[in-house]
Each structure stands twice: as structure tokens, then as C-alpha cells.
Copies of this chain bind each other. A is one copy, B any other.
Amino acid sequence: MSEKTELSPKMKKLIELAAELEDLGHVNALLGWDQQTNMPSGGAEERGLQMAAVGRIMHEKFTSEEVGALIADLEDEIGDLNAETDQARSVKVAKREYDKQTKVPLPLLMDTIQTTTMAHGAWEEAKSKSDFSIFKPHLEKIVDLRKQYAALFEPYDHVYDPLLDDFEPGMKTAEVKEIFNILRPQQVELLQAIAEKEPPDNSFLKQHYDEERQEIIGRYVITRFGYDWNRGRLDLAAHPFTTQFGQGDVRITTRYLKDDAGSALFSTMHEAGHAMYAQGIPRKYRRHPLSGAASLAIHESQSRLWENLVGRSKEFWTFLYPSMQMLFPQYLANVSMEDFYRGINKVQPSFIRVEADEATYNMHIMLRLEIEIGLMEGTIDVADLPEIWNAKMEDYLGITPPNDSVGVLQDVHWSGGMIGYFPTYALGNLASVQLWDKMLETHPNIPDEIAQGKFDTILGWMRENVHQYGSKYEPQEIMLKATGSKITPEPYIKYLNQKYSDIYHL
């Protein structure tokens, strides 16, 4: 079937349905964005009900028998589901999602929405008071609901598979374990080698950095990257995130730490990476079954690429450092670019995942994956989480969180029911280096361009090799198309070893 063929009435109907569901999904995204950026505390209860109302409507619209029949008819109509046309892929994506969602009974869905809405508030309070007991009953309920959810997909290879699959279509727990089993010893070895060396100084980063100037440089950098402000904005929120209300409105958030010059800047680059992916999905997929991203790992490959491969590179600071010195002369006038570069790349086991350096970051993910698998397998009790968390931190990073706020309570994900999400962060790290390496084969002068503040070759390559597909392909298909390989740990390990050998003279 040629892409040029006039769409059949049934195909048109599928696209109309996707458009309506996308509109409603974006409505719910706005409810969530506002909840985190603007909503006064008094609005929480009704907001939860509003999100539940929209969620229920979406679920009912999509899981009707009529939609099932429509998809079945389209499968017949199109014939070969492996065909790579947009139409065939649209039906495939819709069927995949339909089969999943129709398995979920409405009461379980509503219970999950209501539970996670309440849990979010409890998590916030627990975190601010560093009191896990406030969050514990909510997390127990969430784990129970996630078990009920996974059970709907029996038989499975592993109880964690159905959760992982929601964020990383087609990925299996066994594959992730295999990747992590290769990654873990090599990252540990690297960390041990680094630990034996004199660490670079980064005390100049830990001064009182003016928030307004932090914002100036953050906005400047992502403007240079290619973030489209006509289709986005930057706001403050406790937890940096990217969200979208259409192709024309992809927003990011950040927060400025007074005593850390890097935190907001790198997190802003990170979120801009996500946002530029969303802004780069082609117009033809707007309000369409293929309008989404391929997966969270692919999303994370984009954010980590801009944050780390660009943003923490020596070439990037060759370009940006004069501006940084101009804005913060009191701390940086006498710091050389080389020392600054080493400072922002200091490897230091730390409590907070989102502030971890590249060498330790994946360790935070492995810890979470083991805990999530344990919770789902039933070998770990929620009640024991703080203790288990701290023991694993000591084991992997040699440090013990002084309290649960910077330990087991640090991440928002579990309060939102998002178990199965964390591995995608590590997978995204791996994918980012694979894409980077491939891009450099064709464009070896990209490092020079970065040093001149030129980023359009990078964005163009990502548009061409990743963004343009929307959700047409599964993540591993994208990786194969773009790099010739599925997600694999070796390039990342090589990248880390090279980078830190230089910085730490290993």
C-alpha cells in the first residue's frame, strides 16, 4: 500500500479516534503540569478528580468494542502488518495499545489514578519531613495495584515485563538484566580506578550563584541548541520535567539551586533534549496514531545527549565558558576553562540520582531496578525499603544517605505508580552514545562546530534519524536503523573510559 493512497473510511476513523484521544491526553498533561507548577494546595483534591474524569473518558473511548472491531477490520484491510507504511504501523500501534488497555478493568484503572493522586501528596509530605512512614501505606497500595496489573498479562517471562513494556515497548526484563550485568562490573572497575586518583576541585561551583543569571544562561544555551520558544516555555517546578500539550506547546521546567551552578543548567539542557525531540516529530503525525515518541529510552537518549555528550564536553565549554565567566566573575574569573571542565565532570558518589555524574549515574538505576524487581517478585517488602536502599547505596557507591529524603524518598516516580520506568534512564545513556558515535562517523567535525556554538548539525541528524519516525518504530528498530545495532553497553563503557582517562589521567 502506497503512502499516497487515499485513506479508507476505516483508516480515517482510526486517525480521528487517535486525534481525539491525543487531545484528551494533552488536556490531562496540562492538568498535571499545572498541578506541579502553579496549583495552590487547596486545589489538589478536585484536581485528582478532574484527572480521573479525563482518564476514565479516554479509557472508555478507546476500549470500546467498536474500536476493537475497527482495529480488526483494519488488520484485514491492510493485510501485511509488517509492512512499513504509516498506515500498517498505525494499526499495529493501535492494536498493541488496545490489547493492553482492554485487559485493564475500569475499577483497577480508577483505583490506580485515585491512589497515585493521593500518593503524590503523601510522597511530597514524606519527602519534606524525611518520614518514610507517611508514604509507606501509599506505596504498599501502589505495589499491590502494579501486581494486579502485571497479573493481567500472564503468562509472561517475568512479572516485571508488563511494567517495563509500558515504558519500553518490546523490551524484556531479561534483556535489561543482561545489559546491566555487562555494565555493572565495568562501571565499578572505572569507579575504583577513579577513586584512587586525586579528585578535581569543584568548590567554585558550590557558591551562591544568582538565580536570575542562572536562568539567563540556561535560556541562552537551549536557545542555541534549537529549542523553539514559539512552541514552548520554561517554568519552575520542584522536579524538572518536560510535558507537551501538542506539537505546538512543549514545556520544560527547572529549579535553581543557590549553592550549585551546575544543577539547573544541566537539568535545563536535559529537559530541552526531551523537548526538542517532541518538537521534532513531523507535522504529518500530529493528532495521529504515530504522534508519540518511540520509547522512554529513546527519549532519554536525546536528553542525555544534550546534557552530557554536548553539555559536559570540553568543546561545549570552549564555546560557553566566556559567557559563564562574564555572568559569574566573582567565582570564575580566576578559574581556567580546563579546571572548570574538570570540575563539572568530577566523579563523586552522591545521594541524588538526578545530580549524579556520568560515571555513577547508572549505579543509581541498577539499585532501583533491583528494588523494583524485588517488590514485584515479592522478595522485598515496602516496609524494609529505607534499610535496603541504604544498604545498596553503601554497597554500590560507598555512601549512606543521612535521611530518607535524600534516600528512598528522593524520586517522584513510585508515587505516580511508575514502576518499570527507571531502567529506561540507563538504557537512554547507552543509546545516546551509540547515536553520537554513529553521527560522528558522518559528521566528524561536530566537535569543532560545538566549540563554535553551532548545534544544528546535531539537531538535524537527530531529526533525520530519530525524531522523524514518531512512534512508528519500536525503540530497538530505531536503534538498528540509526546505528546498525540494538541498545548495547560497550560504546557507553568505552566513552566513559576515554572521557575519565583524560580527566583523571587513568
Contacts and interface: CB of A to CB of B under 8 A. Distances in A.
A340 B71 CA distance: 71
A379 interface: no
B40 A26 contact: no
Contact of A27 (B41, B54, B286): B54
A109 to B, nearest CB: 16
A45 B245 CA distance: 11
B40 A31 contact: no
A42 B245 contact: no
Interface in A436-456: none
A237 interface: no
A26 B46 contact: yes
B46 A248 contact: yes
Quick one: which of A38, A57, A228, A286 has the most chain B CB within 10 A?
A: A38
Contact of A245 (B23, B50, B231, B247): B50
A248 B42 contact: yes
Contacts of A248: 40, 42-46
Given A20-B53, A50-B23, A231 B31 contact: no
B230 A41 contact: yes
A243 B34 CA distance: 14
A294 B108 CA distance: 39
A288 to B, nearest CB: 12
A49 interface: yes
Interface string A22-44: 01101100110010001111111
B230 A40 contact: yes
A232 interface: yes
A86 B24 CA distance: 33
A39 B249 CA distance: 7
A30 B34 contact: yes
A271 to B, nearest CB: 15
A230 B44 CA distance: 11
Nearest to A41: B230
A231 B45 CA distance: 11
A287 B46 CA distance: 9
Given A245-B46, A245-B47, A246-B47, A24 B53 contact: yes
Interface in A244-278: 245-249
A287 B47 CA distance: 12
A229 B42 CA distance: 9
A233 interface: yes
Given A43-B231, A248-B44, A50 B38 contact: no
A20 B23 CA distance: 19
Given A34-B34, A233-B38, A26 B50 contact: yes
Nearest to A33: B34
A66 B413 CA distance: 41
B49 A23 contact: yes
A230 B287 contact: no
Given A40-B233, A57-B57, A233-B40, A46 B23 contact: yes
B23 A27 contact: no
A53 B30 contact: no
A381 B30 CA distance: 40
A280 B46 CA distance: 16
A287 B232 CA distance: 33
A245 B48 CA distance: 11
Contact of A230 (B42, B231, B232): B42
Given A27-B31, A50-B27, A42 B228 contact: yes
A492 to B, nearest CB: 35
A338 B326 CA distance: 51
A42 B283 CA distance: 13
Contact of A42 (B50, B231, B235): B231
A374 to B, nearest CB: 38
A249 B287 CA distance: 30
A23 B49 CA distance: 7
B43 A27 contact: no
Contacts of A49: 19, 23, 287
Which 6 pairs from chain A and chain B are nearest by CB?
A43-B249, A46-B246, A42-B248, A42-B231, A23-B53, A42-B230
14 contacts: A26-B50, A27-B50, A27-B53, A30-B30, A38-B235, A39-B245, A40-B229, A40-B232, A42-B228, A42-B230, A42-B247, A43-B246, A46-B248, A49-B287
